[in-house]
Amino acid sequence: MLPEPPRHGEDPSDCDSCRGRDEGIWFNERWRLTRIAKVGVPLVLMLHPLDHHDLADLPDELAAELGVLSTHIARHVQALPHISRAHVYRIGDGGAHLHIWFFARPEGQAQMYGSWMVVWDDLLPEYPEDVAEADAAIVADALVASYGGRRSAADGEPQHA
Ligand SMILES: [Zn+2]
């Protein structure tokens, strides 16, 4: 299909991720972490730079922090008792604003090994929101403890995505 259709947010003035910079379960001065609702796998989190960058134009300082943050988030997701693996994906075909996916693979669910998990996510019934929200809070609190940052966009009461 040529030419390819534009991705969402190719124009930063019309970008949902830029508009949503106050939404999330964890923040620091450069990044935010959100929980994706209405999914079939136990927990899906997404890491976004606050400012409008794609992967290929990410400044080196942010690229370095992305590596460290991804490691910490994967560690905390895998520490959840019923989760074996945090899958980490950057696809980038749908949205121009960088977004890194963290999919939690449930322990013992061998049919979800590898790249099949994204397909299964569309087929499974919706995972209970209260359980996912509690697990997301555990990950966000652990990230504050291990890396810093905070649970709300500004100082004040914690928010939930
Ligand atoms: Zn943006």
Q: How far apart are CA 52 and CA 69, in angstroms?
A: 18
Distance 29 CA to ligand 1 centre (A): 15
Please, what is the average pLDDT of the chain?
Answer: 94
pTM recorded for the entire structure: 0.93
**CATH architecture group of domain 12-151:** 2-Layer Sandwich (3.30)
Residue 154's pLDDT is 73
The count of C-alpha atoms lying within 13 angstroms of the C-alpha of 58, restricted to the half-sphere facing its C-beta, is 21
Exposed, middle or buried by CB within 10 Å (0-12, 13-18, 19+), for 100?
buried
Is residue 33 scored above 60 in pLDDT?
A: yes
pLDDT band at residue 157, thresholds of 50, 70 and 90?
A: low
Q: What is the residue-wise DSSP string for 66-90?
A: HHHHHHHHHHHHHTSTTEEEEEEE-
Ligand 1 centre and the CA of 47: distance in Å? 13
Which of 59, 110, 122 is closest to 85 using CA atoms?
110
How far, in Å, is the centroid of ligand 1 from the Cα of 21? 9
Distance 102 CA to ligand 1 centre (A): 19
The confidence score (pLDDT) of residue 89 equals 97
72-119 per-position pLDDT tens digit:
999 999 999 999 999 999 999 999 999 999 999 999 988 899 989 999
pLDDT tens for each residue of 41-63:
999 999 999 999 999 999 999 99
Tell me the CA–centroid distance for residue 48 and ligand 1, in Å.
Answer: 9
